[in-house]
Amino acid sequence: MDLISQSLQALLEHLSPNSAPPTAEEPTLPAMAPAPAAPLTLQPQIPCPALPDAYDGARFGGEQFLQFCLTYIHFSRDAFDSDALKIVWVLSYIKTGCASTYALQVFHHSGGMRSFLDWAAFEKDFCMEFFLLDPTKMAALMLHDREQYGQGKHTLDEYIDLFQALVK
């Protein structure tokens, strides 16, 4: 233990700023000229886009959700090197409401992710499932008298999605 204490003390004395200059017995390193400064080139930093919120399947939000996903994928191109990875990433945000049923069906389908040939096939299917198709459908979703159609407190959109989930 005494040997360790002596070694540490010698090291501290050697490293302290008040220590004597090195003796001739200790080799000294030759002084190096400072390297010329390389010109600074500033690379424009692209800000990272916001991650999308979890999607619940509301048809009014389908187009906005997909646009958030496409924006993120576009600015993070290096992270998404395959269509399957893009699809799985988007499905990871489809986890609430009736949209979760859609994601589960994709994952449990016998073809799984391979049920989509590519990103375009997935995007087309997503649009058909979660986008408003026409003004007539939009008007139907805006119906105020929900009781007349037997869907209780659910909106017509939720009622349709719940019905479709039961039939599939």
User: What is the pLDDT, as a whole number, of residue 59?
Assistant: 83
Of 18-27, 47-56, 149-158, which gets the smallest average pLDDT?
18-27
In contact, 58 and 94? CB cutoff 8 Å: no
* Two structure tokens written together for 31: 């002084």
Q: 18-22, 30-34, 99-103, 151-155 — which one is most confidently predicted on average?
A: 99-103
- pTM > 0.75: no
User: What is the pLDDT, as a whole number, of residue 148?
Assistant: 53
CA-based end-to-end distance of the chain: 77
User: What is the pLDDT, as a whole number, of residue 149?
Assistant: 57
Within 10 angstroms of residue 31's Cβ, the number of other Cβ atoms is 5
Taking alpha carbons only, the member of 30, 94, 59 closest to residue 106 is 94
User: What is the pLDDT, as a whole number, of residue 77?
Assistant: 86
User: What is the pLDDT, as a whole number, of residue 90?
Assistant: 93
Taking CA 118 as the corner, what is the angle to CA 89 and CA 54, rounded to the nearest 5 degrees? 25
Kindly give, in sequence order, each residue whose CB lies less than 8 Å from that of residue 93, ignoring residues fewer than 6 positions away. Answer: 51, 52, 53, 54, 55, 65, 69
In contact, 98 and 165? CB cutoff 8 Å: yes
